[in-house]
Amino acid sequence: MPLLENGRELSVRYLSREAPPGPSPANGTCNASSAHDIVGDRRGNTFSPRACPAWRLLLTTAIWRPTDPNMRCMVTGRIAIPLSIYRPPSMNFAASQSALDPAGVGADSIADLFWVMLFGGSLIWLIVVGLAVYAIVFPGQHDQKKTRMLVIGGGAVFPTLVLTALLAYGLAMLPELQRPAPDGSQVIEVTGVRWWWRVVYQTTDGNKVETANEIHLPVNEPIEFKLKSDDVIHAFWIPSLGGKIDMIPGRENRLKLVPNRIGVYRGVCAEYCGEAHTQMAFDVMVESREDYDEWLRQQKTPAVEMSGLAKRGQRVFESSGCGACHAIRGTSSDGVVGPDLTHFGSRRSIGASVMPNNPDNLTRWVTETHRIKPGVEMPTFEVLNDAELQSLVRYLGELK
């Protein structure tokens, strides 16, 4: 639902769980003149704060995001509060990366747990702070029996009961969250490597398909991830789809995810792993079963035969030693150190979601690798002349 705020087009996404009381347009549209006039629910119902009592506004918050992806604010009533600092436009932030915007069965439970714990913690805070305020506002002697009841009841008994209830609520979720995926589910092996992701799909015919820094998933189907690390401890986390789990060298951990909403989501390494830790991310595409099957079928195929400028780029790739680290199926390049590049041109991003995948960014990645991603093991190829660089970029871009 587009809005205009100082010339920017805004879109509204809602955090509240239930439809708020008060008037709401039947068609789900909004007549307010600015983002500060909008509150609503997760189903798209919206209404104007001017039409509702102030207390209702405290129960409903909305996130609006301008066309500029580096701006994000939370709107409560008529106050806009910045939620995130400036992010470089070269990095890919189009995908959702919020545990409070669940798009998976496990993520729904985790988001519910957050709100329940926030409510319980708020109750404890109100009681304890209320007692402190009472003691300050009304100093001096107090009735001993009343004082004992307030201190013991509000400072010990009530917090203990609330925390016990929160613990029981959280523990009750664990069996389902930890239950393995059913037999016959899609199995995806993900290996953390400083600082990128090796992704291997186990197909129904017993073969494996390798890609990197990008994961495709069918919607409404359980997926079993087998998670490993080649070097240090990493942590695999797709906030919108489920919980996180460590990737430990020499050990295989497993995680079940069930995405239930088509879209693009962002995954990250959630364990500090070295110099380029903050640039170790990946994109997750949740799509229909038909689109997923078509994508996987295309990924099984070897690289297409090149001609013209792309063919010259293939010769540059091989003569420069790139094939010693990278594999491109259907060619003589069979390296295993770096990411598989067989269908690199079809990927959304470069360098583990550091930059969008386009010719200009790819040129920068080849010639300014360590300026863009410090610590990466790939060497910088500044020795290539313009013609060689142009042909190499064309070749990699046509690997689709």
Within this chain, do residues 76 and 99 fall inside the same structural domain, yes or no? no
Give the DSSP letter string of 136-171: HHS-S---HHHHHIIIIIIIIIHHHHHHHHHHHHHH
Looking at the predicted structure, is the pLDDT value of residue 59 above 60? Answer: no
| 348 and 290 in a common domain | no
Mean pLDDT of 345-358: 93
Domain final residue pick, 64, 82, 100: 82
Give the separation between CA 377 and CA 142, rounded to whole angstroms: 69
Q: Is residue 87 part of a domain?
A: no
Of 64-73, 240-249, 294-303, which range is least confident? 64-73
DSSP-assigned beta bridge partners for residue 82: 73
Structure token pair of residue 140? 């001096």
**Domain total for the chain?**
3
* DSSP type of residue 35: G
Tens of pLDDT, residue by residue over 352-364, are 999 999 999 999 9
Percentage of the chain beyond pLDDT 90 is 60
291, 312: one domain: no
Q: What is the DSSP letter of 173?
A: H
Percent of the chain with pLDDT over 70: 76
Rounded to two decimals, what is the model's pTM? 0.72
Q: Average the pLDDT over each of 41-45, 141-145, 224-228, 368-372 and give the range with the smallest value.
A: 41-45
Tell me the residue range of the domain where 66 lies: 3-82
Domain containing 207 — which CATH number? 2.60.40.420
> Does residue 109 sit in the same domain as residue 235?
yes
- Quick one: 177 and 242 in the same domain? yes
For helices 386-397 and 359-367, the axis angle rounded to 10 degrees is: 120
Residue 146 in domain: yes
Do residues 191 and 274 both lie within one domain? yes
Residue 262 shares a structural domain with residue 372 = no
Residue with tokens 């820094």: 213
pLDDT tens digits, 66-89? 333 333 333 333 333 333 333 333
